[in-house]
A = this chain, B = another copy of it.
């Protein structure tokens, strides 16, 4: 797989450009579907499902090649104004201002950005084919196990989750098909010796309370080398549990609240 590097020519930077020049560069950029970044002082109007007015201030405007538009203030996670992908754009000067207008059909919405000064204009041909993967959180995996106990083993029946014992909280606490107590420790990533130790501590604690056999199962996508040895030594078990599969299972189920399970 070759590394792709952007050549210098594919990124154009104008500092404090005259608005006329800016309009031309933006129009060119829009035509060739480049990514545009406009930083300057502007006001913004929005008309659509709702409507809004934003008085002048310094903002960053991102125009992506799929036609999405983001207007960002210097604070906050959310864009103050925006347009989702697929809208039609135009840029021009009018009465000494640079106007950028983005129109979306269905629903009909318009945002109009009016710059009186540009600090920076960047027109870029960014290349991004990097794969993105999102994995479930440990909480999600816990939910999945409660919802589908067979993920641990056939006949497993959860009794509680996050059960408090002396050393901490047991992820899932239940019973196997033969009525033996089972403690499940879930890890989202590769489970190391530390996880095994954690599980062992819980088992010790529970054994001290109930005085009968207690099984311990470490559920994780992968087991570190040293961890396997340790598991065997301590008489504990391992069950492969894939975060991605857990996430899929949850997506299919409509149960959201963890408290609805038991």
Contact = CB atoms under 8 A, between A and B. Distances in A.
Interface size class of A (residues with CB under 8 A): 35 or more
A54 B80 CA distance: 26
A58 B126 CA distance: 6
A64 interface: yes
How many copies of this chain does the complex contain?
A: 2
Nearest 10 CB-CB pairings of A with B: A57-B128, A57-B130, A55-B130, A58-B126, A50-B136, A74-B126, A66-B75, A50-B137, A52-B134, A77-B84
A189 B127 contact: no
A214 interface: no
B80 A76 contact: no
Interface in A116-137: 116-117, 119-120, 122, 124, 126-137
Contacts of A52: 132-135
19 contacts: A13-B15, A13-B120, A35-B60, A37-B60, A49-B243, A50-B136, A50-B243, A51-B135, A51-B247, A52-B133, A54-B130, A56-B130, A62-B72, A64-B76, A68-B75, A68-B77, A74-B124, A74-B127, A74-B128
